[in-house]
Amino acid sequence: MFSSLLVANRGEIACRVMRTAHRMGLRTIAVYSDVDAHAPHVAMADHAVRIGPAAPRESYLNIEAVIAAAKASGAEAVHPGYGFLSENAAFADACAKAGLVFVGPPASAIRAMGLKDAAKALMAKAKVPIVPGYHGDNQQDDHLAREAERIGYPVLIKAVAGGGGKGMRRVDDAGEFAAALQGAKREAQSAFGDARVLVEKYVERPRHIEIQVFADSHGNAVYLFERDCSLQRRHQKVIEEAPAPGMPANMRRAMGEAAVACAKAIGYQGAGTVEFIVDASRGLKSDAFYFMEMNTRLQVEHPVTEMITGLDLVEWQLRVAAGEKLPLKQSELKIHGHAVEARLYAEDPANGFLPSSGRLVRLKLPESAPHIRVDAGVVEGGEVSTFYDPMIAKVIGWDETRAGALSLLADALETAEVAGLRSNLAFLIATLRHKSFGDAEIDTNFIARHKSELIPGPGEVPEDALLLAALFTLSERRVRARTHSPWDIVDGWRVGTSQEEVMRFDAADGERTVLVKYLAHGFRLSVGSRAVEADVLREPDGSLTATIDGREIRARVLHIGGDLAVLLKGHTYTLSPFDPLEAAEHSDASAQDLVAPMPGKIIQVLVKAGDAVKRGQAVAILEAMKMEHTLAAQNDGVISELPWSAGDQVSEGAVIAKFTEAAA
């Protein structure tokens, strides 16, 4: 076994790899870009080396810089994590040339699986079932369009070199194909440096089920069962579980054996995942799964496999890379219980799951427990950068049963708090508690199908959040009264007052008011026709315990700028104490202008000044957090000004297009 390990990655996966490496007695080396100088993975390592500026191509994707860091730090081995250089054959070759052990498969295996078209041809030869489609070399637009017609709509355009939903477009009819093809090629070129695509039949009721495989250099290979990754948004996974609900034993065996055959066909070594699309229209059947791709690395969702097998997959990776045999045979591997992973992202579900960036003013993650695991790569006060994936943490729950695991994980997530940027926390909780999800009625369209139930409108502020904002304000006065004038005490005693006041707040859904009446002990609060008796206690940790008509509610309220952020059961509601002068000042602001929903780079401007556009018409394409986002007009109108051009970097809220009167 080597004695030192450089982790060529960042965030939660770098921390996760280092935990196992430290337990095994290895010296760890971190690499970091300028914006990550104070990141948790840097603090966790025994040694750290700067490798460049924030942009990934100048740091985490810079092979020469990573190899130089390994040599300078005395590293004997390199673990690539996932993403970045993890599936880069040139990087595996560079490690070997530098005398470093690459903790991953041989470069030849990466190349064999790195291009989806070649991989599918190889699998077809190995008699692994594949989805009908076109995987050829002819990339002419008209040829691809004809192939799409031959396959039959709907089809899926996918980047040959891609993954993670980048360079992927669903197309439902021929009229959409040309625009979707250009977008997929452009995104593929940006993300992978390769614009080639393939076209496949779109499976209408798809479940995404993948098999974890492991192989060593002695000819041994096993499968560590399956993971169901069907819960996806923007073609990216958000909730994963193991084992797959409803999986028959014969299908598990058939898929596992197909995955092992795939690994052996390419001389695989280490951890890999063979991903399949399963046609769930007639239930899980052993003859209705199709090879999609192989990820030649550790997966983001590997913790659920670890939870049901009791194994440490990173330890297996390190041992295999050091030349050892697999620790267990297939007959010795067993499934115990059920595990579910939720990916906590900085993103806005109410706005198409667009990524969010900025400082984490408040971050409280669930407490780790015997059956709750938290893998995080950021801390409170840290930044979620536009340069990298917006994941905050992964939270994993295990129980003897699937229902128990879902409930345990949802309960744990309800104790989490995120403020300062938008997150998908409330969405995750709603999904885990949704009846159809609990009943395992799942496929990759689940989120779209239940969107209205899983994602509250951006302007919906419940009465409890409004009452908590009022109680927080009253509790602050109570604290001040302990050290200031007795005239400030909020105990109901007043001279020449009505012992009542009206609190006014600005919310996304308009002005909200709370009538406060001071009682001898506590308050009577009225919102519309509802009146409650309430009191509040400020806890030592800064949270609030409110009693509202006998109900006890634990929450947190924070000052963020001039606003109040109410953190309640995974939701963050923003309320602004009403300022009539500010309201008047902004009353004439234009609601027509199209603004950037996040920082990013303008890839293409699709209109010109003077054009009349309709609501929903594409105006510009913005690249942010490794994905393309089409910005569409919010109303009918005429373009009066386009302040930015293709290639320009813009900040969140920047005006992309100005409008004049509605088009005739």
Per-residue pLDDT of 121-165, as tens digits, reads 888 888 888 888 998 899 999 999 999 999 999 999 999 887 667
Helix, strand, or coil (residue 292): strand
pLDDT at 541: 77
Q: How far apart are the C-alpha atoms of 442 and 444, rounded to whole Å?
A: 7
Q: What is the mean pLDDT of residues 80-93?
A: 96
Instruction: List pLDDT tens digits, range 214-233.
Output: 999 999 999 999 999 999 99
Instruction: List pLDDT tens digits, range 380-411.
Output: 999 898 899 999 999 999 999 999 999 999 99
Range of weakest confidence among 109-118, 144-153, 215-224, 253-262:
109-118
Per-residue pLDDT band at 662 (split at 50, 70, 90): low
Quick one: fold of 4-103? Rossmann fold (3.40.50)
Q: How far apart are the C-alpha atoms of 575 and 566, rounded to whole Å?
A: 8
625: Cβ contacts below 8 Å, ≥ 6 apart: 355, 357, 386, 388, 389, 390, 598, 600
Q: Nearest-CA neighbor of 626 among 32, 55, 91?
A: 55
Tell me the average pLDDT of the chain.
Answer: 90
Place of tokens 């690395």: 297
Instruction: List pLDDT tens digits, range 583-623.
Output: 444 444 355 788 887 788 898 999 999 899 888 788 998 88
pLDDT at 125: 82
53: Cβ contacts below 8 Å, ≥ 6 apart: 33, 34, 59
CATH 3.30.700.30 occupies which residues in the chain? 463-584
- Region class of 628: left (phi > 0), else alpha (psi between -120 and 50), else beta: beta
Torsion on CA atoms 102, 315, 332, 251, rounded to nearest 10: -60
Residue 545 has pLDDT above 90, yes or no: yes
CATH 2.40.50.100 occupies which residues in the chain? 594-659
Question: What percent of the chain is predicted at pLDDT more than 70?
Answer: 93
Q: Nearest-CA neighbor of 300 among 354, 341, 347, 349?
A: 341
CB-facing half-sphere around the CA of 477: CA atoms within 13 A: 16
**Contact, 509 vs 460, CB < 8 A?**
yes
Give just the sign of the alpha carbon dihedral 462, 463, 465, 470: positive
CATH 3.30.470.20 occupies which residues in the chain? 206-336, 342-458
Superfamily for domain range 342-458: ATP-grasp fold, B domain (3.30.470.20)
pLDDT at 197: 94
pTM of whole model > 0.85?
no
Architecture in CATH of 594-659 = Beta Barrel (2.40)
Taking the domain 206-336, which CATH number applies?
A: 3.30.470.20
The most confident of the ranges 133-147, 188-202, 491-505 is 133-147
pLDDT at 488: 47
Q: How far apart are the C-alpha atoms of 35 and 587, rounded to whole Å?
A: 38
Q: How far apart are the C-alpha atoms of 653 and 595, rounded to whole Å?
A: 5
Taking the domain 463-584, which CATH number applies?
A: 3.30.700.30
| Residue 111 annotated as catalytic | no
Range of weakest confidence among 9-18, 441-450, 474-483:
474-483
Q: Which of 10, 227, 297, 343 is catalytic?
A: 297
User: Tokens at residue 62, please?
Assistant: 């810079």
Quick one: fold of 132-201? Dna Ligase; domain 1 (3.30.1490)
The separation between CA 63 and the C-alpha centre of its own chain, rounded to angstroms, equals: 26
